[in-house]
A = this chain, B = another copy of it.
Amino acid sequence: MLYSENSNPQLLNQYQSLDTPFLLVDKQLMLKNLARLRSKTEALGAELRPHFKTIRALEAVHHLLPQRTSAITVSTVKEAEALAGEGYTNIVYAVGISEGKLPRIEQLIVKGAEVRVLLDTLEQAEFVSRYCEQHNCAIAALIEVDCDGHRGGIHPDDPKLIEIASLLHHGAASFHGVLAHAGESYLCFDQESLAEAARNEVKMTLKAANNLRAAAIPCDIVSIGSTPTAHSYQDLTGITEVRAGVYGFFDLVMAGIGVCQLDDIAASVVTTVIGHNKEKGWLFIDAGWMALSADRGTAGQPKDCGYGLVAKTNGQLVEAMQVIGVNQEHGIIAAVGCDAISFDDFPVGCRLHILPNHACATASMHQHYHVFDTQETTYENWNRIQGW
């Protein structure tokens, strides 16, 4: 982290001039996280297709992608439109398509972007095909494969897989391949179960691709990924691309799963202590769920971190202190499971950094990211793309 007596005076001045609460990004940590997964994935022979949903700032894209033709994933059409506007053309929109969004997808394709949509029902394949026919355009689709029973998708051996792919392949739309997301990997807490979830995601998705090929349907794209499994693959033979989102920032959920350390977390919320309740042992801060999000992603983990862990401005984690409660613009910090808070160490007015449970959720609460690079001695203000 960034702020100690040795900090560059200009950066420190910039940091101090910002009103709390604000989202601070440690750029060097982010770059390290981004490079780690890209090199791991490429070493295994697949392409990394970062999920833009976490960072969602155009200023960050050239750090996420080596080239304008590099692969990227989005969670909203709005992100795709923003990326295409900057010349990024290789986009997967990885939320089940609805008919109403097709005109905007068509517009992107007309303007030269290669946007692929995702679906897992015959109804969707039908309206995509019908739209392509009626509008004389070719929208490419991927079929979502259910690899672990987590959410949506079609089981690799379900005959609907072939049925839907045939409809796309032989109709006016086009079929480009299969996509899976090992959502159950969020419930893994040791290396062995992570490796197993990763192997299973690979195996099930390859099975779907091979079933399609056996039915004479080409399946060029075989896309898998989740941040936990993406860091756990050992063999990606047959897989063309890996998707992950939160790996750039990392967070307490990912640290709990074991794919990062606490000091890899590149995003935190800077807040000010605005009160004490000494009887109850509480510090009040000016960061509530508006700044932190109400995400409780660590609630089901071996170590529950409340609404976030607490670090001093020099980066030192304050062991056993947590944000135990949030209102809209108030947070409550308390000692959990051990010593009481020494109030003299946290006077009214001092700043603290809150490490987020879930960086996607915390980042989504902020319109701007305040990005500090202590190595290059730079400060940048990034704008999050908002809405749908």
B120 with A275: CB separation less than 8 A: yes
A38-46, A90-98, A198-206 - the one binding chain B: A90-98
A330, B19: Cβ atoms closer than 8 Å: no
Contacts of A313 in B (CB 8 A): none
* Contacting residues, chain B, for A386 (C-beta < 8 A): 367
Contact call B53/A328, Cβ cutoff below 8 A: yes
Please measure, in the bound complex, the distance between the C-alpha atom of A121 and the C-alpha atom of B127, giving whole angstroms.
62
Count, chain A residues at interface, CB 8 A: 56
Q: A330 CA to B153 CA in the complex, in Å?
A: 13
Q: Mark A5-26, 1 if CB is under 8 A from B, else 0.
A: 0000000000000011110000
- Does A333 make an interface contact (CB < 8 A)? no
Complexed CA–CA distance, A122 and B42 (Å): 58
Task: Tell me how far the C-beta of A287 lies from the nearest C-beta in chain B, rounded to whole angstroms.
Answer: 10
Q: Is A4 on the interface with B (CB-CB < 8 A)?
A: no
The reply to whether the CB of A332 lies closer than 8 angstroms to some CB of chain B is yes
Residues B294 and A95 in contact, CB atoms below 8 Å apart: no
Q: List 22 A-B contacts (CB under 8 A).
A: A19-B100, A20-B98, A75-B329, A96-B275, A98-B272, A121-B275, A121-B348, A123-B348, A124-B275, A151-B277, A151-B284, A151-B327, A151-B330, A151-B332, A152-B275, A152-B284, A152-B330, A289-B361, A291-B388, A294-B295, A364-B365, A367-B387
- Given A98-B348, A291-B388, A368-B387, output 8 extra A-B contacts at Cβ < 8 Å: A75-B290, A96-B274, A96-B284, A98-B272, A124-B274, A152-B277, A294-B295, A367-B387
